Amino acid sequence: MILGTRPEIIKLAPVVKELEKRGIDFFILHTGQHFSYNMDRVFFEQLELPQPKYNLGVGSGSHGEQTAKMLLGVERVLTDERPDVVIVQGDTNSTLAGALAAVKLQVPVAHVEAGLRSFDMSMPEEVNRVVVDHVSTLLFAPTQLSRRNLEREGIVEGVYVTGNTIVDAIMMYSPRIEEAKLPLDLPMEYVLLTLHRQENVDNPVRLASAIKGVGLVAEELKVHVIFPVHPRTRLRLVEYGIRVPDGLVLLEPLGYFQFLKLLKGSRVVLTDSGGVQEEACILGVPCVTLRYNTERPETVYVGANVVAGLDPQRILSKTLEMADKRGSWPNPLGDGRAAEKIVRTLKDDLG
Ligand code: UD1
Ligand code: UDP
């Protein structure tokens, strides 16, 4: 299993648990794409995951540099280990490098969360998803919609609709949410914000626009906006000299239990994260997506999510629209048994 970032660790945790339960031999190769304690190790500790057998320590860099270093390291490990299959998840550079290195060595690739599409090739994640899906042997699509996206690209063999493992993760770990200690006393009412997409935060106009919109939300709803800040975003806020308006409370990135507790209690969440859109939908928290598209349209169709874009007035109006919609929508993302289905299929396929 190859992973490298916060969401991959969280979404592969249920698969790890299922492999362990069935006594299947596996190891984790960590690319080291995420490396800060609160973006990486905290999740291994909280989710009680085995230590990676390898950590390539690749860290940050341009897309080419980061992916190239990963390719070299992954190839070396796979050449030595010769696994029967490589499991990758999602759409990061670690996913791409893991899948490419494996397929070139003729090691079959199993892609967890296959078939998501934003149809926006300017996003690095969309490029990664498309490439990885086209070199995978087993494709675990979370929903019928993602299966249809694959079908439209001519990928029909080896596709299984499993649900998203994020549902499994929430079900598995939600008993631990209540015990989580937060680094602040929570107000009665608050809004949660996360923001980290490259196309948003590496663009000073877009980043300033998003922050302005969120400031309007804090002012109009008279609430604090709690903002655990991704390291990329913290760097850009400083670099672009963007002033954070009153009403925003900036925190360091949180552990999983802390974050879910904060999300569960929030009136509405504003985010450009993929995983957070899904979790909000599952937990019944209305979501305003600070992007121009989403590869999670199921959350929009059930009424849990709205795609607002980055214009400040539109962020405000869409948030006001969603703020009282705390949810009674159906969960379109799975029944919490995705990992079981994935591992059963892997086992059947490998014989
Ligand atoms: C990556 C993924 C993105 C995913 C996100 C999850 C790609 C192309 N992008 O974006 O799809 O949604 O992870 O969070 O793979 N940094 C730290 N400590 C860390 C990690 C990052 O300080 O542990 C800082 C570094 O300065 C780095 C910046 O954050 O330059 C961006 O990190 P990087 O891994 O390149 O991309 P993400 O924005 O995290
Ligand atoms: N998350 C977390 N702490 C935080 C922010 C997010 O544990 O401070 C979790 C969140 O619950 C979700 C995942 O990180 O499961 C989402 O990761 P991210 O937004 O970085 O990436 P994306 O899902 O957009 O790829």
Q: Is the pLDDT of residue 179 over 90?
A: no
Ligand 2 atom index nearest CA of 260: 11
Question: Same structural domain for residues 141 and 192?
Answer: no
> What mean pLDDT comes out for the span 318-333?
94
Handedness of CA 119, 334, 228, 87 (dihedral sign): negative
274 CA to centre of own chain: 5
Instruction: With cut-offs at 50, 70 and 90, classify the pLDDT of residue 314.
Output: very high
Ligand nearest to the CA of 36: 1
23 and 94 share a domain? Answer: yes
Rounded to whole angstroms, how far apart are CA atoms 197 and 183? Answer: 25
pLDDT at 351 over 80: no
Could you read off the pLDDT of 334-344 as tens digits, one per residue? 999 999 999 99
The total of structural domains in the chain comes to 2
Residues 239 and 280 in one domain: yes
Residue 302 burial by Cβ neighbours in a 10 Å radius (0-12, 13-18, 19+): middle
What pLDDT does residue 237 have? 98
In this structure, are 239 and 277 located in the same domain? yes
- CATH number of the domain at 20, please: 3.40.50.2000
Q: What residue ranges in 97-236 does DSSP mark as E strands?
A: 109-112, 138-141, 159-161, 190-194, 224-228
Give the domain extent around 185: 179-322
Read off the pLDDT of each residue in 301-327 and give the average, rounded to a whole number. Answer: 96
In angstroms, the CA 259 to CA 182 distance is 9
| Average pLDDT of the chain to the nearest whole number | 97
How far, CA to CA in Å, does 45 sit from each of 11, 17, 59, 174, 182?
15, 14, 20, 16, 17
Nearest-CA residue for ligand 1 atom 35 is: 60
Which residue puts its alpha carbon closest to atom 18 of ligand 1? 36
Q: Check whether residue 100 and residue 193 sit in a common domain.
A: no
Q: How do residues 271-291 score in pLDDT, each as one tens digit?
A: 999 999 999 999 999 999 999
- Model confidence pTM above 0.85: yes
Is 196 labeled as catalytic in the residue annotation? yes
Q: Is the pLDDT of residue 95 over 90?
A: yes
What's CA 70's distance to the chain center, in Å?
20
